[in-house]
Amino acid sequence: MGFGGNSRTAYAARRIAQGVLVILGIVVANFLLLHLAPGDAVDVLAGESGSATPEFLAHLRQQFGLDQPLHVQLLVYIKNILSLDLGYSFRHNAPVLTLILTRLGPTLLLMGTTIVISIGFGILLGLFAASRPNSWRDNLISVLALLSYATPLFWVGLMLMLIFAIELGWLPTNGMEDVAAFYTGWEAVGDVARHLVLPALTLSLFYLALYVRLMRSAVLEQSGKDYVTTARAKGLTERHILFGHILRNACLPVVTIAGVQIGNLIGGSVIVESVFAWPGFGMLAFEALVTRDLNLLMGIFFISACLVVGVNILVDLLYAFLDPRIVVR
């Protein structure tokens, strides 16, 4: 079964088309759910002001476009989405897309670092544990993975902050950079890296535990397959069999779960960003939810949906590379 250029292109085009339909469905669902909830941005503004006449509230709803029927608001919103106009945040007095882009970079940095750490070390530790099943190192890695998976993220973050930031003083407690230091060049990169260590480590521990357990199970399952028995019969070393044959097949479930976990990773970043005051996407979403900033919330949901769907498409293409049979199914 080949994995030729035409098959690869057709498969990628099919997945992209499916992704566009999924994003459209998510946009409509998010719009309806947010607008069916009681209250709106005008109610929040009126509550904060303490006194507002019905005429003033009606004027605000007309200005925000909230006086239109729901289906009209939905059509206008979809039309704006197609032109990358995510609306205007009257709470922050700025375009929604501008607000999101200023916070998207820190979140992508945190998520990217988390993915590299959790998947990379998860695969290595899973291989290390499965290479000697039921040994002391297998049991130790399994127990530590279980504890890491069962521990709440906020508690892990607070403990790491207490140990490495407060007691030892090795790392900063919050933020993304030391704004008073005015670092430039590599010094600025190093400063951001120091601030990134604790939030990335906190978020990585949970997902690393998942990938360790998954990789261990996959390696043990693949070790009993006929192709492994044949490789041993040919006289290949265990190291060559593990890295040359088992590893590629054992990575398939890890890659699959990694794509599914992207959405959870965005949700987990809200907690971690709150603990470490990381100026990312999660904190912005929390602020928008509290203040009922519907335009900003819908913009955040839209960008989040694009990120999740886009990563899942990349995962599917990687999966097809690891297992070419998927293209012709």
- Give the E-state strand segments of the chain in sequence order: 88-89, 94-95
Average pLDDT value for residue range 303-327: 74
Encode pLDDT of 163-190 as tens digits.
Answer: 888 888 788 877 777 766 667 777 778 8
Mean pLDDT of the chain: 77
What type of residue sits at position 187? E
Cα–Cα distances in angstroms (integers) from residue 87 to residues 30, 71, 94, 187, 305, in the given order: 15, 17, 9, 37, 17
Q: What local confidence, expressed as pLDDT, does residue 39 receive?
A: 58
- SS3 label, residue 117: helix
Q: What local confidence, expressed as pLDDT, does residue 324 receive?
A: 62
pLDDT tier, 43 (very low <50, low <70, confident <90, very high otherwise): low
Strand (E) or helix (H) holding 286: helix 281-290
Q: What is the DSSP code string of 38-63?
A: S--HHHHHHHHHS---HHHHHHHHHH
Residue 99 has pLDDT above 80, yes or no: yes
CA 86 to CA 100: how far, in whole Å?
A: 10
Whether 298 and 34 have beta carbons less than 8 Å apart is answered as yes
Q: Please give the span between the terminal C-alpha atoms of the chain, in angstroms, as a whole number.
A: 11
- Whether the pTM exceeds 0.85: the reply is no
Encode pLDDT of 62-79 as tens digits.
Answer: 666 666 777 777 888 788
- Give the E-state strand segments of 63-127 in sequence order: 88-89, 94-95
Whether 138 and 132 have beta carbons less than 8 Å apart is answered as yes
Q: What local confidence, expressed as pLDDT, does residue 67 receive?
A: 66
Q: Is 128 exposed, middle or buried (0-12, 13-18, 19+ CB in 10 A)?
A: middle
Q: What local confidence, expressed as pLDDT, does residue 54 receive?
A: 66
Residue 5 has pLDDT above 60, yes or no: no
Encode pLDDT of 131-154 as tens digits.
Answer: 777 888 888 888 888 888 777 777
Q: What local confidence, expressed as pLDDT, does residue 1 receive?
A: 41
Fold held by 103-290:
MetI-like fold (1.10.3720)
CA 63 to CA 52: how far, in whole Å?
A: 15
Q: Which two tokens stand for residue 103?
A: 């916070």
Q: What local confidence, expressed as pLDDT, does residue 2 receive?
A: 45
Whether 305 and 27 have beta carbons less than 8 Å apart is answered as yes
Q: What local confidence, expressed as pLDDT, does residue 153 receive?
A: 74
Cα–Cα distances in angstroms (integers) from residue 30 to residues 243, 247, 272, 290, 321, in the given order: 44, 40, 24, 17, 34
Whether 175 and 279 have beta carbons less than 8 Å apart is answered as yes
pLDDT tier, 106 (very low <50, low <70, confident <90, very high otherwise): confident
